[in-house]
Chains A and B, each alone.
Chain A
Amino acid sequence: MEGASERARARGLEAVVTTNTIPGMGHPNGIFVLADGTRLAVTEEHTLLQIPPSGRLATITGYVKKDEDTEEDRTRRKMRLTR
């Protein structure tokens, strides 16, 4: 039997989700969008990243050990938003 929660869920599925392919993104915890469209993100890898509309990612601050980064972070289909 379909409950109230299932009916509500079905009506709510209207959003369109797209993915930005950003190699090296890691696991973002928070994001802020500047007026020019540049996105700033902080990550579980302890970094502050800048992603301009062009998509070219740069690390502003923070330190990450390159050899401990995982391939999974860098692969589009496996990239996940996690806490």
Chain B
Amino acid sequence: MTGGFLDAKGTRAHFNDPAGLTVDRAGSVVVVDCGNHTICTVSKAGAIVSMLAGNGEAGSADGQGVDATLKDPCDVVLASSSDLLVSNAHVIRVVTPGGVMRTLAGSGQADFVNGQGPAACFNQPAGLALDTHGSLLMADSGNHAIRRVTMAGTVSTVAGNGEPGFANG
């Protein structure tokens, strides 16, 4: 299969290993383009693909649009605030509708630590969902755990102790 990196219309646009998606308040599809380290939007009308955040280079810089960088982003959900929450290399990033990216939680180092904002650690955060209170639930795949992240950046563990296994409890 052919991956690539090209903003365009319809099948002329190229993704590289798209991993997750959601739909924003405007009805555009938001795609996590993992292999290109970017977040793209696909317009409701005409299927125009354009970049929201990231520039194709792997990194961890916060910033606006192409000034921000991501590394192997995995999934995205739409928060009640209309911001997008993105699972990235050991951190959770927030992207505003205007494309400004910041880090909500995670130090960037792979570890298993609860705490506030950058004091918390994840290990390969993957699938995302929102709970009924508007907090983020995340599959912390490398830690074999489900973690909760509030919109204020407080991280706790819902289930799992860091060890692989298959037991209810």
Contact = CB atoms under 8 A, between A and B. Distances in A.
Interface of A: 4-5, 8-9, 11-12, 29-32, 34, 40-48, 59-65, 68-69
Contacts of B31: 42, 48
B66 interface: no
Nearest to A31: B21
Nearest to B77: A32
Interface in B135-169: 165-168
Contacts of A32: 21-23, 29
B20 A29 contact: yes
B49 A61 contact: yes
Contacts of A30: 18-21, 32, 75
A29 B18 contact: yes
B20 A45 contact: no
Given A5-B165, A65-B1, A48 B42 contact: yes
Interface of B: 1-4, 9-23, 29, 31-32, 34, 42, 47, 49, 75, 165-168
Contacts of A29: 17-20, 34
Contacts of A65: 1-2
Contacts of A64: 1-2
A46 B15 contact: yes
Of the listed residues A46, A60, A68, the one surrounded by the most CB atoms of chain B closer than 10 A to its CB is: A46
Contacts of B47: 60-61
Contact of A48 (B16, B18, B22, B166): B18
27 contacts: A11-B168, A29-B18, A29-B34, A30-B18, A30-B21, A30-B32, A30-B75, A32-B21, A32-B22, A32-B29, A40-B29, A46-B1, A46-B3, A46-B17, A47-B11, A47-B18, A48-B15, A48-B21, A48-B42, A60-B10, A60-B29, A61-B42, A62-B14, A62-B15, A64-B2, A68-B1, A68-B2
